[in-house]
Amino acid sequence: AQSVAQPEDQVNVAEGNPLTVKCTYSVSGNPYLFWYVQYPNRGLQFLLKYITGDNLVKGSYGFEAEFNKSQTSFHLKKPSALVSDSALYFCAGSLSFSGGYNKLIFGAGTRLAVHP
């Protein structure tokens, strides 16, 4: 079965330290991978995506993600965390159907808490 896993329910980081939010995937074929962020009482916002090409993808708000095919991972990273980065983060993988529509499969989410 195709799936996306986020092994950590919560990640705690001190402000100014680097952060990593982990994601692993099991999607057949060439995966399309996404990161979304959800702030309280808001919908999900797109951060970045991997389609093909460079394994390091840069996105919004200083976030980046590294695609690692051998480890089937797509970890989200930021060199220096801000308190305002505290939110719920979702990793998602995209499936292709015969009709061409790409369905998103979401991980369970990781809550990031950045402490002053």
Q: CB within 8 A of 70, min separation 6: which ones?
A: none
Size of the site for other proteins (CB under 8 A): 25
Among 28, 53, 101, 116, binds other proteins (CB under 8 A): 101
Number of H helices, E strands in the chain: 0, 12
29 binds other proteins (CB under 8 A): no
111 binds other proteins (CB under 8 A): no
At position 30, the amino acid (one-letter code) is: N
Among 22, 27, 44, 77, binds other proteins (CB under 8 A): 44
- The smaller minimum CB distance to other proteins, of residues 43 and 116, is found at 43
Q: How far apart are CA 46 and CA 11, in angstroms?
A: 20
3-state percent helix, strand, coil for the chain, nearest multiple of 5: 5, 55, 40
Tell how strand 87-96 and strand 102-106 pair up. Answer: antiparallel
56 binds other proteins (CB under 8 A): no
Among 10, 55, 71, 102, binds other proteins (CB under 8 A): 102
- The smaller minimum CB distance to other proteins, of residues 18 and 58, is found at 58
Among 15, 20, 49, 82, binds other proteins (CB under 8 A): 49
